[in-house]
């Protein structure tokens, strides 16, 4: 019983500590009216969903986005047999931000890349490449969200 009282008091104090999420749709100062996605694929939709999740319908700034997503895998290094031993994945997103009247506010390219060693197991290699792609997509999404949050 002696140990239970301090734990209960401590848990009550910690639950009311004023935690607020950094990224939240209530805190964002923009509303996305429309997104035009030129290269519709799974990865571009992932970025689109992450950005749309922070759109605030009560915001004063209303923007339209045009997004062009490109992903490339390239071989950097080959072994003696000619098989790839090192590869690079690059993700580039060209983003055009427009206001309600279709005036271009910002035209910016976001680019991320990652180099990795090729594994012999094809299944693990496919999972590893998907994981890398997801991480790079998250980085680009966060950069886009930061850009939209700092619009004037």
SS3 at position 148:
helix
Residue 27 lies in a domain: yes
Q: How many CB atoms lie within 10 A of CB 47?
A: 23
CATH for 64: 3.30.160.150
Q: What is the pLDDT of residues 7-18, one digit of tens each?
A: 887 777 767 666
pLDDT at position 9 is 78
Residue 130 lies in a domain: yes
Domain extent, residue 52, equals 21-149
Residue 144 lies in a domain: yes
Q: What is the pLDDT of residues 27-64, one digit of tens each?
A: 677 888 889 888 888 888 899 998 888 888 888 888 99
Residue 114 lies in a domain: yes
Q: What is the pLDDT of residues 97-142, one digit of tens each?
A: 998 888 999 999 999 999 999 998 999 999 999 999 999 999 999 9
pLDDT at position 39 is 83
Q: What is the pLDDT of residues 72-98, one digit of tens each?
A: 999 999 999 888 999 999 999 999 999
Residue 84 lies in a domain: yes
Check if the beta carbon of residue 31 is closer than 8 Å to that of residue 62: yes
What is the rounded distance in angstroms from the CA atom of residue 141 to the CA atom of residue 122?
A: 28
Residue 49 lies in a domain: yes
Residue 105 lies in a domain: yes
Residue 6 lies in a domain: no
Q: How many CB atoms lie within 10 A of CB 141?
A: 20
Total tally of structural domains belonging to the chain: 1
Q: How many CB atoms lie within 10 A of CB 42?
A: 9
SS3 at position 64:
strand
């Amino acid at each position: 019983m002696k140990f239970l009282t301090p734990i209960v008091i401590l848990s009550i104090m910690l639950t009311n500590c004023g935690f607020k999420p950094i990224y939240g749709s209530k805190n964002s100062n923009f509303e996305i009216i429309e997104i035009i996605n030129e290269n519709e694929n799974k990865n571009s939709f992932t970025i689109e969903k992450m950005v749309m999740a922070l759109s605030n319908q009560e915001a004063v700034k209303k923007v339209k986005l045009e997004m062009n997503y490109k992903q490339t895998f390239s071989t950097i290094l080959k072994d003696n047999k000619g098989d790839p031993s090192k590869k690079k994945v690059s993700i580039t997103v060209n983003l055009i931000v427009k206001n309600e009247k279709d005036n271009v506010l910002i035209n910016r390219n976001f680019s991320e890349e990652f180099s990795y060693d090729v594994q012999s197991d094809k299944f693990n290699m496919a999972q590893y490449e998907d994981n890398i792609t997801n991480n790079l997509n998250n980085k680009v999404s966060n950069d886009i969200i930061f850009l939209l949050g700092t619009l004037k």
